[in-house]
Chain A
Amino acid sequence: MSVNRTGRGLASAGRPRSRPDIAALEAALAAEQAASYGYGIVGSHLTGAPFAAAAADCVAHERARDSLTGLIAARGGRPRPAAAVYQMPIKVSTPERARSLAILLERQVTAAYLGLVAVSDPALRTFAADHMRAAAVRAARWGGRPQAFPGLPRSSLRRSG
């Protein structure tokens, strides 16, 4: 609803009102955990510069995952641990498919931050938007087709006319 202008920092202590923040943080965390796992598969099918890019992107997702874990804990939540195995949206057997998987993972991550970009805490909004941008940039680097509205479901767009 209204924007919280009290200037709470990212690591501020949890209060009852931060419950929606925790739910949004959890959604982003789940996607980052899946992406961290998925990039292991992506990297295993690549060599040379693309492999290095996959390794760097994997680290980016692990860092985001760790940040989210810290943000949830700082608000009194209990971060859900990662699953042992994740079902990937596509099977990967070639470098081409590995790139496609990377793009899909980035799209999932972008969408997973949508909830967090709508919470009242302005610092969390900015955090979420920066991670949406980073994911959209990585998707583009992997050759993903450009999207006018990364992360947004079609249903949220208005008919213009």
Chain B
Amino acid sequence: MRAEPTRRLVLAAAGAGSLTLAGCKGMAVLGPRPKPGVDVVSLEHAIAAEETMIARYQSALTALGGPPAGGGGAGKTGETNAGAPARATVARVLAEHREHLAQLRARLVLPPRLATASPRPGPTPPPTPAGRHRILAELAAAEAVASDRLVGKLPDVPPALAQLMASIAASEAAHVVLLGYGRLAP
């Protein structure tokens, strides 16, 4: 929604330019497609980051032995009890990232990658490390990086999107605690 005026302005500017040049440019009057605005690019980056994060969590869940709470019993039998809390946490955080992605996608009114014809490759998460602690540590580090990146993009986006992105950044910062880093001793 908010991204639209920017694009309209870009289109209007392109149109005005083409009128003045119409005499000498022939068929080129339409010019190249306008590049997406910095706000659209920031939103697309945020969407791509969430997609990668979701892929990371899916890999982690598989590595930790399948979905929590014994759903289907597909987990690695040896680790069922010891890994259960970690799996539950990872599954819970994964669900929150899916919510983030849905809200970010809902703000993108333009077809993704309008300016580039090439289709976007699917997210490829880095390989999941072995061992429960290393998996959680890696996820926590990824959350911290993602949170920082979102905050870094705030100056480029419209107010309502800034609020959503700041909230997601806060959620990601809290995930670091949830994954076992910085929790208060009881």
Q: What residues make up the interface of A, taking CB atoms closer than 8 Å to B? A: 1, 3, 5, 49-50, 53, 110, 113-114, 117-119, 122, 125-126, 128-130, 132-137, 139-143, 146-152, 156-160
Contact = CB atoms under 8 A, between A and B. Distances in A.
B84 interface: no
A133 B151 contact: yes
Nearest to B156: A3
A160 B107 CA distance: 10
A125 B103 contact: no
Q: Which 9 A-B pairs have the closest CB atoms?
A: A122-B155, A118-B159, A160-B102, A136-B170, A140-B177, A158-B106, A140-B174, A129-B166, A133-B173
Given A118-B159, A137-B176, A143-B184, A132 B93 contact: no
Contacts of B48: none
Given A117-B162, A137-B182, A150 B155 contact: no
A160 B151 contact: no
Interface of B: 92-93, 95-96, 99-100, 102-103, 105-107, 147, 150-151, 154-160, 162-164, 166-171, 173-178, 182-185
Contacts of A135: 170
Nearest to A128: B166
B155 A160 contact: no
Contact of A146 (B103, B168, B171, B184): B171
B169 A129 contact: yes
Contacts of A150: 167, 170-171, 174
A118 B171 contact: no
Interface of B is mostly: helix
Contacts of A148: 95-96, 99-100, 171
A152 B107 contact: no
Contacts of B173: 133-134, 136-137
A106 to B, nearest CB: 10
Of B107, B156, B162, B174, which is in contact with the most chain A CB atoms at under 10 Å from its CB?
A: B174
Given A53-B184, A118-B163, A152-B167, A141 B155 contact: no
Contacts of A160: 102-103, 105-106
Most buried by A among B106, B159, B170, B174: B170
